Amino acid sequence: MLFSSITFLGFFLPIVFILYWLSPSRIYKNMLLFFSSLLFYAWGEPKFVFLMLFSILLNYIAGLKISHAADEKRRKMVLAFSVFVNLTILFIFKYLGFSITIIDIFLNTIHIKPLNTINMILPIGISFYTFQEISYLVDVYRKPELAQKNFLNLGLYISFFPQLIAGPIVRYHDINLQIENRSESLEKVSKGFQKFIIGLSKKVIIANNLAVVCDSIYNADFYSYGAAAAWIASISYSLQIYYDFSGYSDMAIGLAKLFGFELKENFNYPYCSSSITEFWKRWHISLTDFFRDYVYIPLGGNRISKKRTIINRYIVFFLTGLWHGAAVNFILWGLLHGTAMIFERISGISDKVKNLKVKSCNIIKITYRFLVLATINFLWLIFRNDTEQSIKLLLKMFGLNFRSFTNSGYQEVVKMDLLWFYVDTKFFIILALAVLFAFPWWKRVNLPQKYLFPVYLSKLIITIILLIVCFAFLANNTYNPFIYFRF
């Protein structure tokens, strides 16, 4: 069930919200949220809800075993085994087919009959809730008193529907106290609805409309469009994936507020970044923090040696790419981001540019920031497309012909740039809004106290208008894909 669907907005959310506020006690509220979350998940994945219940039971037992272990060695063994089981489940559903394909390529080179390819259906949200389960186990290992003795409460933590399918990845120690001791208020509800509607607008008004143009161009015959259309598609995708994913994160955070939960922000205007390192402090923050705390730091982080630091970073970014998808292009995307970050660290170029004090050096800062954005944009090409297609698109963006770089000697001519077949005035308005709101320029405006009420009233009116516009788009059967379902 999509947040940006009539079913969710018109039926599921209002019913759950009303029943929640009518529930007399915390235990009934938590029971309602747990069973509602299972229903939410079963709506799109009815058979995989049993996998989730098995997963909850597995980690419930593992947490108790870790907390009751007689000594450190036994606790560590139980932790290692339970994490292994969680990752094995993730591997079977997400990476087994990819692994067999890689093995088949190797077997083919040595003339051995390949294995039978296995195509597994990927359970929605499995990457997110698996990481939450690992977070729970590690937190219990570090502090045994955190072990959840109530199956219902642990089930709610793992299956909580606002962040179940697309994050943010909520770590257990950040939310465990809220499960039994949280407060609801009209102020939270007001802020929650506002946050939700902002996220819904990002998704429905901006991301969906950019997706129409981007997908139309990339799905067209490669030689039917030219450089201008390739640039439009590339920029559109960079903005689409930001507004799509950050929109869903905003909706998740807003929904959680409706039920008294406080979740951490997952995006902080990543396209404001002045370096790749800063980009990863602003983009998908919960994933970055997870890999930092549960992989990078345990590996030694940057405390050992320069060589080990580089290796640790490559491990983290290899896993980051692999987490996003079982394909070579995702791994390459992650490793290239890691390479860019390592280059920044070794050369110190981003710090040098940032520390330039002379006003005449502002052009250097602007140029470097532009190069950072261009790098991120080009890497999104690899993220979305396979490796060969990405190279072809990148060359096309600069007016170069991919065929010229092959041995075929065949020159394919672009027949016609059909840019205006794909775009219209509405698209350019949406694109302008997407660029405008990718930067928090309004935060620099400091208004006197007397303007606070008019501003609050204006925000309320704008929020209502945005909600009406979103419903209009959805009622009109607007193209409504969701990028992060595949992860």
Catalytic residue numbers?
Answer: 324
How would DSSP label each residue in 233-268? HHHHHHHHHHHHHHHHHHHHHHHHHHTT-----S--
Question: Which residues in 327-360 are b (16+ Cβ under 10 Å) and which e?
Answer: bebbbbbbbbbbebbbebbeeeebeebeeeeeee
Residue given tokens 């009815």 in the structure block:
46
DSSP H helices, 143-259, are 151-159, 172-180, 186-201, 208-219, 227-258
* Cα 285 to Cα 333: distance, rounded to the nearest angstrom: 18
State how far the alpha carbon of 481 is from the alpha carbons of 4, 157, 180, 250, 409, in Å. 10, 27, 35, 17, 39
Helix (H) or strand (E) holding 310: helix 306-324
Q: Are 271 and 373 in contact (CB under 8 A)?
A: yes
Query: Quick one: angle between helices 172-180 and 126-142, nearest 10?
Result: 90
User: Which 8-state DSSP code applies to residue 303?
Assistant: S
* Cα 40 to Cα 33: distance, rounded to the nearest angstrom: 10
Q: Round to the nearest angstrom and report the end-to-end CA distance of the chain.
A: 16
Q: Are 166 and 248 in contact (CB under 8 A)?
A: yes
How would DSSP label each residue in 319-370? HHHHHH-SSHHHHHHHHHHHHHHHHHHHH-HHHHHHT--SGGGHHHHHHHHH
* Cα 147 to Cα 198: distance, rounded to the nearest angstrom: 36
Query: Quick one: angle between helices 151-159 and 49-68, nearest 10?
Result: 130
How would DSSP label each residue in 434-463? HHHTTS-GGGG----GGGHHHHHHHHHHHH
